[in-house]
Amino acid sequence: MEADAIPSQIWEDINKIQFYGANIEDFIGIFFLLILLILSGLISGSEASFFALSPNDIKRLNQKGNKKGAATINLLKKPEQLLGSILIANNFINIGIVLLSAKITTSLIDFTNAQTIGFIFQTIIITFIILLFGEIIPKVYASKQSYSFSLRMTPTFSILNKLFRPINILLIKSSSLVNKKVSHHKNNMSISDLSHALSLTEEHEIKQDKDILEGIVKFGKKSVVEIMCSRLDTVALDWNESFNTVIETINDSGFSRIPIYEDTFDNIKGVLYIKDLLSHLHKGNTFRWQTLIRPPFYIPENKKIDDLLEEFQKSKIHMAFVIDEYGGVSGIVTLEDVLEEIVGEISDEFDEDEKNFTKIDNQTYLFDAKTLLVDFLRDLHIEEDFLDDVKGDADTIAGLLLEIKGDFPLIKEKIVIGNIDFIVEKMDARRIIEIRVINKQN
């Protein structure tokens, strides 16, 4: 049949439809159909409300101190049983809607000579009505009023749980059997799923937990080069230094592990653990401290920090040397650096409060040019992807300006990125030292 003949065929079928007058049974059927639709909406809304309760809502229910709040908590303690009751009730009601609507339709309309129209009406239109009024609208409303809606529906489901208990037990045992069969498959949640879940946790009481979870979400995306300490900022000792110089460097730096190199930082000999020196502090300047050095651990710049954390755990080490594509040592990364990406800055009583910037006014800041871009964006509360289009391979503010300029900028030269001005304040013959940042977004 040609495409333009289809509408005319449907029109002919419509003309063949015969309508009958409604009797008292039809009105009673319509009345009960409306009741079933309302019940379907209440059951569907309950599913959305019970499982959308926030931690604050749970706390309110525990503090409520009445029977209804306690009953709601009891329902939530057995989520599988609650969900089973919801699904069973909803299926029974929806089957009733389909059967009753088919009976009323057949009583009022004769589709004998127009079976195509009858099929469309009894399947598509009835399904649409069930979805709209029995699923979508109730769930949208109930998810926004989850606390009050779940309280209202608690008595109903306390009864339904008892009524459907035999069927629920059968369903739960069946699902447990399936879970055992597939338990060896790892259940991976995507980053987008986690991000969406975190967007739901807006209560200030759990902000700290939310920050940690956000750190975990972004954890696997970062590579070592984003968090490492540059070789220029690393406290290290030459292999040929005297024992007295080693002790002085340890006292001045306060670090518990010191990288050891010979002649150049690219020739790493190992790591000196300060605890290994404790039993030798009384020895003189001739002591061969080099015998205490532990072997180095090397990693490439592009290694993801979640993989590095796993290697730290397996190898039971706390420091790694980062190797660039040419085989040179570009910096070091420690276990503390990795953990700080999840929990934030870790400080102890010996740490001094260090800032990479000085605030001049609400818009103007002076930044150390070697500040990492991730720290710069975090300090100014700017979205992490703000510089993605321009930063290239740069990891620091100085590297960003060199990437954009393609050469060393001049003193007082301004480079504009979006609403942020970068002005070079101080530099020497080889590197940028200090940068003025004007954040016009504030």
| Cα distances (Å, whole numbers) of residue 42 to 168, 239, 242 | 20, 76, 81
One domain for residues 324 and 378: no
CA 399 to chain CA centroid, Å, is: 29
One domain for residues 337 and 370: no
Pairing of strands 257-262, 237-238: parallel
Going by pLDDT thresholds of 50, 70 and 90, the confidence category of residue 272 is very high
pLDDT of residue 204: 46
3-state secondary structure 248-285: HHHHHHCCCEEEEEECEEEEEEEEEEHHHHHHHCCCCC
One domain for residues 144 and 35: yes
pLDDT of residue 1: 47
One domain for residues 369 and 335: no
Which range has the worst mean pLDDT, 2-16, 47-61, 84-98, 396-410? 2-16
Between CA 127 and CA 62 the distance in angstroms is 40
List all residues 6 or more positions away from 170 whose beta carbon is below 8 Å from its beta carbon.
none
Is residue 236, in this structure, part of any structural domain at all?
yes
Is residue 191, in this structure, part of any structural domain at all?
no
Which helix (H) or strand (E) element contains residue 415? strand 414-417
One domain for residues 318 and 380: no
Q: Judge contact between 76 and 102, C-beta under 8 A.
A: no
pLDDT tens across 324-359, in order?
888 889 899 988 888 877 666 655 555 555 567 788
pLDDT tens across 186-244, in order?
445 555 555 555 555 555 445 555 555 555 555 566 788 888 888 888 889 999 999 99
Per-residue pLDDT, averaged over 91-116, amounts to 72
Going by pLDDT thresholds of 50, 70 and 90, the confidence category of residue 3 is very low
Between CA 268 and CA 361 the distance in angstroms is 43
| Three-class secondary structure of residue 183 per DSSP | coil
Q: Judge contact between 333 and 224, C-beta under 8 A.
A: yes
Is residue 294, in this structure, part of any structural domain at all?
yes
- Number of other CB atoms surrounding residue 440 within 10 Å: 10
Is residue 204, in this structure, part of any structural domain at all?
no
Q: Domains in the chain: how many in total?
A: 3
One domain for residues 284 and 312: yes
Is residue 196, in this structure, part of any structural domain at all?
no
Is residue 51, in this structure, part of any structural domain at all?
yes
pLDDT of residue 212: 53
Backbone torsion region of residue 60, taken as left when φ is above 0, otherwise alpha when ψ lies between -120 and 50, otherwise beta: alpha
Which helix (H) or strand (E) element contains residue 405? helix 397-405
Between CA 327 and CA 395 the distance in angstroms is 19
Is residue 153, in this structure, part of any structural domain at all?
yes
One domain for residues 326 and 362: no
What is the b/e burial string over 332-370, where b = at least 16 CB atoms within 10 angstroms of the residue's CB? bbbeebbeebbeeeeeeeeeeeeebbeeeeeeebbbbbb
- 27 lies in which domain range? 5-181
Residue 419 belongs to domain with CATH number:
3.30.465.10
**Two tokens at 440?**
């016009």
Q: Which of 226, 284, 292, 224 is nearest to 258 (CA)?
A: 292
Dihedral, 355, 356, 358, 362 alpha carbons, nearest 10: -100
CA 140 to chain CA centroid, Å, is: 24
One domain for residues 32 and 141: yes
List all residues 6 or more positions away from 110 whose beta carbon is below 8 Å from its beta carbon.
17, 18, 19, 20
Q: Judge contact between 400 and 373, C-beta under 8 A.
A: yes
One domain for residues 176 and 43: yes
**Could you write out the DSSP letters of every residue in 281-299?**
TTS-TT--GGGGPBPP-EE
Between CA 96 and CA 198 the distance in angstroms is 39
Which helix (H) or strand (E) element contains residue 21? none
One domain for residues 61 and 159: yes
Is residue 304, in this structure, part of any structural domain at all?
yes
Q: What percent of the chain has pLDDT over 70?
A: 76
Residue 250 belongs to domain with CATH number:
3.10.580.10
Which range has the worst mean pLDDT, 10-19, 71-80, 296-305, 418-427? 10-19
Amino acid (1-letter code) at residue 187: N
One domain for residues 118 and 170: yes
What is this structure's pTM?
Answer: 0.44
What end-to-end distance do the CA atoms of the chain give, in Å?
66
pLDDT tens across 110-157, in order?
555 555 555 666 677 778 888 888 788 888 888 888 888 888 888 888
Which helix (H) or strand (E) element contains residue 36? helix 24-50
pLDDT of residue 6: 46
Q: Which of 53, 212, 246 is nearest to 142 (CA)?
A: 53
Which helix (H) or strand (E) element contains residue 438? strand 432-439
List all residues 6 or more positions away from 425 whose beta carbon is below 8 Å from its beta carbon.
366, 411, 412, 433, 434, 435, 436
Between CA 318 and CA 313 the distance in angstroms is 9
* Segments in 296-334 forming alpha helices (H): 305-315
One domain for residues 333 and 380: no
Q: Which of 317, 353, 351, 354 is nearest to 335 (CA)?
A: 317
Last residue of a domain, one of 181, 199, 234: 181
Residue 181 or 259, more confident: 259
| Cα distances (Å, whole numbers) of residue 370 to 233, 248, 271, 400, 434 | 9, 26, 24, 10, 8
Going by pLDDT thresholds of 50, 70 and 90, the confidence category of residue 2 is very low
